[in-house]
Amino acid sequence: MRHALVTGGAGFIGSHLVDSLLAEGWQVTVVDNCDPFYEEAVKLGNIASHQAAPHYQLYRIDIRDMAALCKTLTAEYEVIVHLAARAGVRPSIMDPLTYQEVNVQGTQNLLEFAKEKGIKQFVFASSSSVYGVNPHVPWREDDHVLMPISPYAATKVAGELLGHVYSHLYQMRFIALRFFTVYGPRQRPDLAIHKFAKLILKGEEIPVFGDGSTRRDYTFIADIIQGIRGAMAYRATNYEVVNLGNNQTVTLNEMITTLEEKLKLPARIKRLPEQSGDVPQTYADVSKAENLFGYKPTTNFDGGVAAFVEWLKKS
């Protein structure tokens, strides 16, 4: 039986990946400390259906604790999918040292663990934020002028570079996936679509930073999982950095309008100044992912928001 180690497997993206792996008969070990960045109950809800699976194991370990990782994770693993991280651009500005410890030291620990265990496939969750304020859109992986403008983004650049070191020194296959604004059922409650939808349902004001013209390449969760699975199966080269996006952009104002349509309620908007660390646009060129993994996003924004709203009302 194929065995995957998934860090952050109780989170939004991780729990969907575990769904996919269990459905295909994989054995899955999850490492997740249920960090209080958002409510633990949300994560436990994400994995409620996993707990009874015979080939599923959850260990609540902090990835900064190398001794605990080595003592607890004694099985043989075919692949590590490293999704665990301190998330969020704005919070990282307030607490950069914790982001450094979790996202850089934690990633180093997982790479050391993979080296010691002889695990040759390592998939790393990077972020579109590494591009920073880059006017050359759509963003391509071969544009090496990275200009991160938040501590969070800088930690993701560091993770990609650490992966290159370990790939070079230890012949480990390291695939860094730059995620572009992932949304859908189980989305983190602090992210804009989820946060705005709840406020609209309550009839409360939604905080809109700037004039609403910022643009994001929103990527539906099922498409992201397709890309992760492609990276897990990839064998051709030992180091790659790959965009996973939707290859189209949506303005903040358009996002709010779409939410209003799906919720059948008006949004009350509170205009606020632009925030430090936010980039004006994200826009992915996904041709490399298509060439390497056969990646093709299939969910448009309208359909993806409809699926999210359906989940939100049920949950």
Which active-site residues does the annotation give? 152
Instruction: In whole angstroms, give the CA distance from residue 305 to residue 115.
Output: 41
Instruction: In whole angstroms, give the CA distance from residue 5 to residue 121.
Output: 11
- Dump the DSSP string for 298-310: ---HHHHHHHHHH
Q: Give the amino acid at 217.
A: D
Strands 79-82 and 205-209: unpaired
16: nearest Cα among 214, 143, 185, 212: 185
Tell me how many degrees the CA angle 85-77-38 measures, rounded to the nearest 5: 25
The alpha carbon torsion through 73, 74, 80, 86 (nearest 10 deg) reads 10
- Dump the DSSP string for 138-156: SB-TT----B--SHHHHHH
Instruction: In whole angstroms, give the CA distance from residue 288 to residue 138.
Output: 12
* In the chain, alpha helices (H): 12-23, 40-46, 66-72, 89-94, 96-99, 106-117, 151-170, 192-202, 221-233, 252-263, 287-293, 301-314
Sign of CA dihedral 242, 137, 285, 21: positive
* CB contact at 8 A, 255 and 192: yes
> CA distances (Å), 237 to each of 108, 115, 233, in order?
21, 18, 12
